[in-house]
Chain A
Amino acid sequence: MKSTREEIIKVIASVANVETKDLDSGIVSIEELDLDSLQLYELIIDIEEKYSIRLSDEAIDAVVTVDDFIELVESFVNKK
């Protein structure tokens, strides 16, 4: 069974059109994913629907790295 981290990476990779292995090593910051605003919200909504959580704009604005994003989502998923 995939871990939450692996699942989130898969969603990010699919929205950003990158390989999951690039997210595991290489790509560190969200900026490097080069997402436009539509893709960024696509990612947020995909994650919200997948885990039935709510990610506010304020929380998203504080995210800098891919790891920050994964930790943010995990913190909401673990609270459930």
Chain B
Amino acid sequence: MKNDEQELARLLVQIFDNVLLTEEKALQKGYFSDLSLAEMHALEAIGPYEARTMTETASDLGITTGTLTVSIDRLVKKGYVLRNRDVNDRRIVRISLTHNGKLAYRIHSKFHAVLARRILEPYSDEEREKFIKMISEIDVFVKSQLSRYSDESMIRKTAKEVAKSDRQKE
């Protein structure tokens, strides 16, 4: 059992690292080599259609609006993002993708889709269904862990709980 846990832990970290690395390499060799992976993810969070506010976008990326502002400044300069004041409320800044931004977004989305297609290819419909169900459960679990860490008192509580359950196992 211990071996299963170790193998899963190793695989999770390895998959996470390699997906990021593959994305980065694909970006460097592709049409949009002037974009960093973080910048591409900012384009993804903005999306190709309606303009979004800085607050919404920063929240989706899990970063502060201050950090997003730095990234958006660069993306505006590179010609991937447009920044405009809301017509009804001048205090609100809305960001949207330029034609080039939309192109980068679509090509990067296609990269994700092809990666997923290739992963699923060897499996039957039934296996795919099971696989997606298990991955979704992992996603829900990891998200629940993330939300526990969003406030500091919970971090302490979580750490204590982990230590306690480890002691009980021993």
The residues of A with any CB-CB pair to B shorter than 8 Å are 37-38, 41-42, 44-45, 48-49, 54, 57
Contacts and interface: CB of A to CB of B under 8 A. Distances in A.
Interface residues of B, number: 11
From A44, A45, A49, residue with most partner B Cβ within 10 Å? A45
B109 A37 contact: no
Nearest to B106: A41
> Chain A's interface: helix, strand, loop or mixed, by majority?
helix
16 contacts: A37-B107, A37-B110, A38-B107, A41-B103, A41-B106, A41-B107, A42-B103, A44-B106, A45-B48, A45-B99, A45-B106, A48-B48, A49-B99, A57-B109, A57-B110, A57-B113
B16 interface: no
Given A57-B109, A57-B110, A45 B49 contact: no
A42 B106 CA distance: 10
B49 A54 contact: yes
